[in-house]
Amino acid sequence: MQVAYDEIMDQLSFSEFNLIQFRQGLPTLLLDLVHYLTGKTLSGTSTEDDQAEFTTKNKHALLLPIGEKELCPGPFHDPEIEGIRNSMKPEEYNQFLSLFQRFLNYYPDEKKLAANLQQKFVEEKCYLTEEDIITNFKNVFGYDCTYFAKLIYLLLSGGYDKQKISMTRFIKEFMILKGEDIHYAFNSLAFKLYDVDRDDSLNLMNLLHLQMNIAPTSLVGREIFK
């Protein structure tokens, strides 16, 4: 069912947003996230070529030399991570871990770790900041978009500035993408990203912010402003 423009009026609830028929069936700006977390295409299947591309992307060796930057400086502890880790299949947890590490520009190298040339990644002590997500956005999506990176940060931080995003928080927010109802899950996440003022509706100001901050010719913009 295609939602007509005149039916949208001045604001859009999630139930109305969920009726929109996006090109390819889902908001394409989320497809990269899905690919990194599942290795699957939009259809839900995983071909040999798709899986090979997914594997290659996750083996880029952009290593973080020890001493160049302290990984997650300062005291920090994620008390829930062990419970989260134990509640998931190892392969599923490792997919989230890989994505979390990419946002930190951390790519583990077993030889360097054994030789103490690279910092060991300890999930309980690691966190994401707004700067991490903006700086390393390209590591995940393949292109830069500062505004969309900011939207992801605000989603993970609950709308607050200067927050440290734990691995637990990261998994809980994106776990919806693993759900059975793909259309609902993807649209729900897209809606939350667009709803910057967190009032459970999309209004003219939300759309104007997107228009002003995302180039219509960009990969993200072509989907939003089609």
Q: Taking CA 169 as the corner, what is the angle to CA 167 and CA 171, rounded to the nearest 5 degrees?
A: 70
Dist CA 10 CA 168 (whole Å):
36
What per-residue confidence (pLDDT) applies to 209? 74
Hey, which residues does 203 pair with through a beta bridge?
11
**Helix extents (H) in 158-224:** 167-174, 182-194, 204-213, 219-224
Coil vs helix vs strand at 154: helix
Dist CA 168 CA 83 (whole Å):
9
Rounded to the nearest 5°, which phi and psi values hold at 14?
-65, -40
Instruction: Find where tokens 């290593």 sit.
Output: 63
Hey, which residues does 166 pair with through a beta bridge?
127
One-letter amino acid of 177: L
What per-residue confidence (pLDDT) applies to 217? 66
First to last CA, the chain: 17
**Distance between alpha carbon 30 and the CA centroid of its chain, in Å?**
8
Length of the chain as a residue count: 226
Close Cβ partners of 207 (under 8 Å, ≥ 6 residues apart)? none
Angle between helices 48-57 and 31-38 (to 10 degrees): 90
What per-residue confidence (pLDDT) applies to 179? 76
Reading the chain (226 residues) residue by residue, the pLDDT tens digits are 344 444 444 688 888 877 776 655 555 656 666 665 655 554 444 444 444 444 444 444 344 444 446 788 889 999 999 999 999 999 899 989 988 998 999 888 888 888 877 888 999 999 999 999 999 988 887 778 888 899 999 999 988 899 999 999 999 999 988 877 777 888 888 888 888 888 888 877 777 777 777 666 665 666 555 5
Coil vs helix vs strand at 152: helix
Q: Taking CA 224 as the corner, what is the angle to CA 194 and CA 58, rounded to the nearest 5 degrees?
A: 80
What per-residue confidence (pLDDT) applies to 62? 44
What per-residue confidence (pLDDT) applies to 35? 61
Close Cβ partners of 62 (under 8 Å, ≥ 6 residues apart)? 105, 107, 139
Close Cβ partners of 184 (under 8 Å, ≥ 6 residues apart)? 18
